[in-house]
Amino acid sequence: MLMMRRLCYWNANLFWDRRCPFMKPGFTLLLAEDDEKDVMLFNHALEVSAKKASVPVRLAVTKDGEQALAYLKGEGEFSDRTKHPFPDIFVTDLKMPRLNGLDVLAWLKEHEEYRRIPKILLSASCEECDVDEAYLLGVNTYFQKPITLNEFQELVYHIVCYWAHTQRPVIRHRLMLRC
């Protein structure tokens, strides 16, 4: 089941309003994660980080790689892009049922219209073969999941701050949906 989170700092009227010069640009983040505890932890860290950084972030969560691809393609329950906006950033776990994070990265790499979406892999695994494969498949960053809550919150805070200050590519799939 997809969960859309509304963060404390979320202001629907200002989210995409680039006219406000004092507001850092916000973004939509898609998280593919099968462990509900990790989803809750990520959501909490994201809420705290977004508020602290004054960056509006919309979080969409899918429970596995197959559902993440359906979300990215705008299929089935995700066809309404008003409710399920195309993500600016994709964060995935490595080990998930049905399709794992590497399978999703491979699919994204094979489809030109999705290749440029910024991708982050967040996994408990630090196996060299997993890290190498993820980078070969186009991941922008690979993080090992921190053990403590404070370390996890710090990592998410840095992700939010970094991506809020970047120029991200315009994804062709996103443009086609707006027409």
- Structural domains in the chain plus CATH codes: 16-178 (3.40.50.2300)
pLDDT score, position 172: 53
Q: Name the band, by pLDDT with cuts 50, 70 and 90, for residue 88.
A: very high
Buried b (16+ CB within 10 A) or exposed e, 142-176: bbbbbeeeeebbebbbebbeebbeeeeeebebbee
For 69, what's the count of Cα atoms within 13 Å in the CB-facing half-sphere?
A: 16
Q: What span, in angstroms and rounded, lies between the C-alpha atoms of 153 and 18?
A: 27
Q: What span, in angstroms and rounded, lies between the C-alpha atoms of 97 and 12?
A: 33
H or E element, residue 65: helix 65-73
Residue type for position 163: W
pLDDT in tens, 144-179: 999 999 999 999 999 999 888 877 776 655 444 444
Residues in CB range of 146: below 8 A, 6 or more apart? 152, 154, 155
pTM here? 0.82
Helix (H), strand (E), coil (C) string for 104-162:
HHHHHHHCHHHHCCCEEEEECCCCHHHHHHHHHCCCCEEEECCCCHHHHHHHHHHHHHH
- pLDDT, averaged across the chain: 84
pLDDT in tens, 126-143: 999 999 999 999 999 999
| DSSP state at residue 28 | E
Q: Is the pLDDT of residue 8 over 70?
A: no
pLDDT in tens, 27-71: 999 999 999 999 999 999 999 999 999 999 999 999 999 999 999
